[in-house]
Structure 1
Amino acid sequence: MDNVARRVVFPAGTVIFSEGEPGTTAYVVESGKVEVYKTVADKTIPIGRIDQGGIFGEMALIDDHPRMASAKALEETACVIIGKERLFQQMDKAPRGVRVIVNALLGNIRAMGTELAEASVILARDKD
């Protein structure tokens, strides 16, 4: 089953996954919009928006770290869900060094996402 892509429709407002959860699937948006956000100091900080054709949730599959952020459907959103096995089958077709580079990039993205969310909280605090 992990090798088969399947389609799921998420109603508006549905939390697709939460920060800190293990990642077992990635999502490709067929229609709709998804917001990716972090929670810092009890504040929700948007860090990205995924529209039709975009992918999210792939980082946790590739580097085996917990989800770095949460994802929520902003409107009714249809996604193709891709399991870890299927993703790795595709990655195995790439040259050997690609996985090393991808893991390094993911580490950088995770760090930047955390720094961005923390900076947003500090800036919001300074405005008050």
Structure 2
Amino acid sequence: MDEDRPFDFSILDRLGAPYRQFDAGEKVFLEDEPGSEMYMVRSGRVDVITYGSVLENVRAGGIFGELALIDDGPRSAAAIAAEPTEVVAISKPAFLAIIRDDPQFALRVMGLLATRIRRMNKDV
């Protein structure tokens, strides 16, 4: 997400988005599972993993799991808490409400996706 402007979690609180706690090593979700939520890290760190390789370390303010929310497809990677972690689960209706309230949020998500694609292209 945009490092210059921290995410205002109060909109998630207003929407009643649930907070979830994970211990170090605990799975948030596994690859190929169906996904109906994306997640934003409040505290701690989540490793996004595929085929045993860590693709990304997601820290406070970062998001993960957005692909399954956007295209309704299965999870493309696993997400495992790397340390004690608190996340906010964002359903599709909540995601759309956030975008209505803060259209820049959609651009932040698209920017993150673009960064990930560029990083993958360099690795090919």
Using the size of structure 2 for normalisation, the TM-score is 0.69
1:21 aligns with 2:33: yes
1:83 aligns with 2:91: yes
What is the match of residue 66 of structure 2? 58
Q: Which protein is bigger by CA-based radius of gyration?
A: 1
Q: Which amino acid aligns with 2:30?
A: S
Q: Map of 1:1-128 to 2, 5 A cutoff? A: 4-39=16-51, 44-91=52-99, 94=103, 102=110, 109=117, 112=120
Q: Distance in 2 between matches of 1:13 and 1:70?
A: 12
Aligned length: 101
Q: Alignment RMSD, CA only?
A: 2.7
Q: Distance in 2 between matches of 1:87 and 1:72?
A: 22
Equivalent residue of 1:88, what SS? Answer: helix
Query: CA deviation digits over 1:82-121, x for unaligned, max 9?
Result: 1111112334564xxx79xx5xx67x84xx49x95xx7xx
Equivalent residue of 2:93, what SS? Answer: helix
- Check the 8 A contact 1:22/1:60 in 2, yes or no: yes
- Could you list the structure 1 runs, at least 4 aligned residues long, displaced by more than 6 angstroms after superposition: none
Equivalent residue of 2:98, what SS? Answer: helix
Using the size of structure 1 for normalisation, the TM-score is 0.67
